[in-house]
């Protein structure tokens, strides 16, 4: 059995003067303390990549900076899916007896430590070097293409997509660490600057500084026990020009495998944490995962289904769209919030029941997927 025993999260936004290693260290210290452990008890480290500090040995660089000497260290790179991919790997390492307490950490000073041009250049590299990058698109443009096709096939409108941005902002208003605290409306989203139509500025996640971490342990370190019940991955393509049909994307594959591995059905889930780099990402993933029918996720948002007091509370911290996105740490904030909800420590955001949670991460342009179920043992 592997358990999430502690989490740590910084606020997201501007952290002037702090490096990626500093932000990772802040989150790691919080997670280890939350688990009731000492640094010396961490015997495994999994570290996400950093576009600001692209070191070829980032895990050991961080271990040295943080003052630990783990028996296992590994850096992982699968885009936005990295946080959950690392958590899944930590789960397997602990189950296999390779390590007892694995620290999973990600963070970057992506907002203050990287110029706009450098950020655009980094994001452009997801494209095929010969067939895509040379034409100038970056990640928003690829998701804009996906959005156009999805809207055509399932009847979604731009106003439908705007609902997801409004919901995430509503949730962020209740979290002091969120990057944005100004409420927005569908009209505000529609009026925001075009980025890659049909996606506008408020359909897109921001660039942030921040860090997030968790500890995965073989045995409980406190009274509460949150177990990794089952997880799975799927990798269908890297480049959008090689992507399968919209009805054959990886989220459907990974969730089917995760359900089989865990024995949990979607009807058992009480809380959802789903990747939301763009409004179209969230709309598609909710439907791919079975949390809404095809073309029906926006209607569920309007009906309050995904509100904090709704039937399926979703990303109650505000998600990537409004809590913020600092690379690998972006989606790890989803995991931190899920753990706080499951342990009854989400303060004014606390939902009625978070006994079983579904988490899903997406890397690239719907390229790499990780689905994970957590359950509260006690």
The CATH number of the domain holding residue 18 is: 3.40.47.10
Quick check: helix, strand or coil at residue 218?
coil
For the record, the structure tokens of 219 come out as 């045995």
Average confidence (pLDDT) over 133-157: 94
Q: What is the pLDDT of residues 340-359, one digit of tens each?
A: 999 999 999 999 999 999 99
| Helix ranges restricted to H, the chain | 20-34, 58-66, 82-95, 116-124, 139-154, 158-172, 186-191, 250-262, 279-288, 297-302, 328-342
Classify residue 288: in a domain, yes or no.
no
Burial of 72 (0-12, 13-18, 19+ CB in 10 A): middle
Closest CA to 7 of 32, 25, 24: 32
How sure is the predictor about 246, in pLDDT bands with cuts at 50, 70 and 90? confident
Classify residue 133: in a domain, yes or no.
no
Q: Is the pLDDT of residue 247 over 90?
A: no
Q: What whole-number distance in Å separates Cα of residue 248 and Cα of residue 209?
A: 34
Q: Is the pLDDT of residue 124 over 90?
A: no
Quick check: helix, strand or coil at residue 39?
helix
pLDDT (0 to 100) of residue 116? 84
pLDDT (0 to 100) of residue 125? 79
Split into its structural domains, the chain has a count of: 1
Classify residue 14: in a domain, yes or no.
yes
Give this prediction's pTM: 0.97
Classify residue 86: in a domain, yes or no.
yes
Q: Is the pLDDT of residue 12 over 90?
A: yes
Q: What whole-number distance in Å separates Cα of residue 126 and Cα of residue 132?
A: 9
Classify residue 32: in a domain, yes or no.
yes
The CA radius of gyration of the chain, in Å to the nearest whole number, is 19
Classify residue 46: in a domain, yes or no.
yes
Task: Using the structure block, give the residue that is written with the tokens 């359900």.
Answer: 259
Phi/psi for 355 (5° steps) reads: -70, -30
State the DSSP H helix or E strand holding residue 102, giving kind and residue range, or none if neither: strand 101-109
Q: Which domain holds residue 91?
A: 3-114+208-217
Closest CA to 138 of 121, 124, 125, 152: 124
pLDDT (0 to 100) of residue 120? 80
Give the list of residues 6+ apart from residue 351 with CB closer than 8 angstroms, or none: 270, 271, 308, 309, 313, 316, 341
pLDDT (0 to 100) of residue 143? 96
Half-sphere exposure of 268 (CA within 13 A, CB side): 14
Closest CA to 260 of 373, 351, 173, 93: 373
Q: Is the pLDDT of residue 363 over 90?
A: yes
Classify residue 29: in a domain, yes or no.
yes
Classify residue 80: in a domain, yes or no.
yes
């Amino acid at each position: 059995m592997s358990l999430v025993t502690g989490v740590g999260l910084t606020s997201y936004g501007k952290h002037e003067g702090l490096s990626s290693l500093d932000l990772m260290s802040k989150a790691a210290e919080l997670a280890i303390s939350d688990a009731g452990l000492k640094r010396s008890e961490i015997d495994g480290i999994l570290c996400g990549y950093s576009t600001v500090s692209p070191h070829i040995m980032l895990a050991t660089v961080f271990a040295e900076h943080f003052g630990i000497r783990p028996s296992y260290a590994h850096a992982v790179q699968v885009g936005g899916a990295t946080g959950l991919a690392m958590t899944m790997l930590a789960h397997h390492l602990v189950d296999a007896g390779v390590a007892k307490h694995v620290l999973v950490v990600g963070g970057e000073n992506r907002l203050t430590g990287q110029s706009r041009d450098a950020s655009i250049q980094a994001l452009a590299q997801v494209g095929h070097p010969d067939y895509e990058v040379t034409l100038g698109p970056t990640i928003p443009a690829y998701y804009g293409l996906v959005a156009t096709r999805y809207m055509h096939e399932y009847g979604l409108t731009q106003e439908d997509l705007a609902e997801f941005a409004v919901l995430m902002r509503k949730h962020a208003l209740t979290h002091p660490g969120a990057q944005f605290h100004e409420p927005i409306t569908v009209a505000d989203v529609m009026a925001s600057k075009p980025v890659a139509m049909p996606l506008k500025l408020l359909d897109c996640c921001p660039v942030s500084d921040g860090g997030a971490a968790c500890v995965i342990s073989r045995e409980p370190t406190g009274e509460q026990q949150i177990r990794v019940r089952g997880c799975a991955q799927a990798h269908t393509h890297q480049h959008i020009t090689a992507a399968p049909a919209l009805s054959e994307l990886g989220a459907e594959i990974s969730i089917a495998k995760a359900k089989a591995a865990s024995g949990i059905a979607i009807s058992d889930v009480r809380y959802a944490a789903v990747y939301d780099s763009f409004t179209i990402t969230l709309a598609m993933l909710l439907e791919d995962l079975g949390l809404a029918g095809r073309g029906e996720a926006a209607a569920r948002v309007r009906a309050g289904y995904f509100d904090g007091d709704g039937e399926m509370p979703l990303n109650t911290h505000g998600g990537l769209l409004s809590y913020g996105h600092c690379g690998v740490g972006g989606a790890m904030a989803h995991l931190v919030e899920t753990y706080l909800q499951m342990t009854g420590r989400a303060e004014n955001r606390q939902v009625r029941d978070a006994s079983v949670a579904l988490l899903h991460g997406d890397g690239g342009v719907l390229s790499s997927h990780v689905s994970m179920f957590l359950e509260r043992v006690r």
